[in-house]
Amino acid sequence: MNPLDRIARVRLSSVYLPLDAPVSDAKVLTGRQRPMTEVAFLFAEITTEGGLEGLGFSYSKRAGGPGQYAHACELAPDLIGEDANDIPRLWEKLAWAGASVGRGGLAVQAIAAFDIALWDLKARRAGLPLAKLLGAHRDSVRCYNTSGGFLHAPIERVLENAAAALERGIGGIKIKVGQPDGRADLARVRAARERLGADVPLMVDANQQWDRPAAARMGRALEEFGLVWIEEPLDAHDHAGHAALATALDTPVATGEMLSSVAEHAELLRAGVDVLQPDAPRIGGITPFLRLAALAEHHRVQLAPHFAMEIHLHLAAAYGQEPWVEHFEWLEPLFEERLEIRDGRMLVPDRPGLGLTPSERASAWTAERREFR
């Protein structure tokens, strides 16, 4: 090992990003969750003896932020003195260090921040954007907006948001459904399709709020709108139900964002799904995401990673089949840089690594910070 590649310092930060207004999807309208007012982030900054640096992050919505940070603080000392090049080995080391809390959920979401930071460091050292280090298939990825389509906003506001997104250059629009009254959902989708026209890619997301009979009825009723996909029509762990629905409908069925391990995704792929929506921070970082992407490509499944476009743009660019990436502007205040969007596509930045620098506002929103040497 080159002594300069030894990890000399790990800095962890617990950051709470406030949202401009409380956000509601179907889980709120059905009484299962409260409106979301903030997103908790776990940032990891890793520095080698040679002065190379990498930045990674994980996140949690509504609950789990303090737990992720606490578990990361338990794991961080195990990285000191290690070779930053050995990313898969270090993932396994951290997983075994926290084996008593499992290999999914919060346990791997804490590891994700370290893993992403190590990949960022490796790409920076090579002087390449992460997508290029991984082996890009394209320099831009189709993108669609979700943040303007939540259920707390009346349909006219949603349509205004959609028009602004398309004007900005975003290529597709996703709106939330899954309300207690399915007729309200259908009216919302009809209004969107009529306003956007037949050529704009349109997706809907039910956020797991239908049972199998309701999903079948709503899926059939939604066929006329020519949707790109129906997202999470069923409980995220109902693999058989999603597979059966995908077989029954012409409209593709998408799911996967709530799964927190490669093993869970592998089970979903075996059952059958049209569009896979993994989330790198939720499944443990880039190392497990790459394993999952290879498996998904083997199954010839379309890929549309969930949230965290700042990370997923690079991973989607390295996927063999043409993917989608999800546009949320929520994270933009955390970083100095902005991603460029043009002609319906998000452009891979030419900056090394992820191409991200924490902003001053991120420091102001930091609740806790610890450094390990």
Examine the pLDDT at 1 and tell me if it is beyond 80: no
- Same CATH topology for 3-127+359-372 and 131-347? no
**Which of the listed CATH numbers 3.20.20.120, 3.50.50.60, 2.60.120.260, 2.60.40.10 matches domain 131-347?**
3.20.20.120
Query: Domain segments of the chain: what residues?
Result: 3-127+359-372, 131-347
pTM of the full predicted structure? Answer: 0.95
Residue range 172-178: mean pLDDT, rounded: 96
d(CA 149, CA 159): 8
Examine the pLDDT at 2 and tell me if it is beyond 80: yes
Residue range 195-217: mean pLDDT, rounded: 96
SS3 state at 48: strand
* Residues 222, 40 contacting (CB under 8 angstroms): no
Residues pairing with 59 in the sheet: 41
One-letter amino acid at 5 equals: D
Comparing 144-158, 192-206, 308-322, the range with the smallest average pLDDT is: 144-158
3-state secondary structure string, 298-316? HCCCEECCCCCHHHHHHHH
* E strands, the chain, in order: 7-23, 36-48, 53-61, 140-145, 172-176, 202-205, 230-231, 253-255, 275-276, 302-303, 324-327, 341-342, 345-347, 366-372
Of 328, 325, 294, nearest in space to 138 by CA: 325
- What is the domain class of 3-127+359-372 according to CATH? alpha beta
- pLDDT category at 300 given cuts 50, 70, 90 is very high
338 phi-psi bin (left φ>0, alpha ψ -120 to 50, beta other): beta
Report the catalytic residues: 176, 306
Q: Is 23 exposed, middle or buried, given 0-12, 13-18 or 19+ CB atoms closer than 10 A?
A: buried
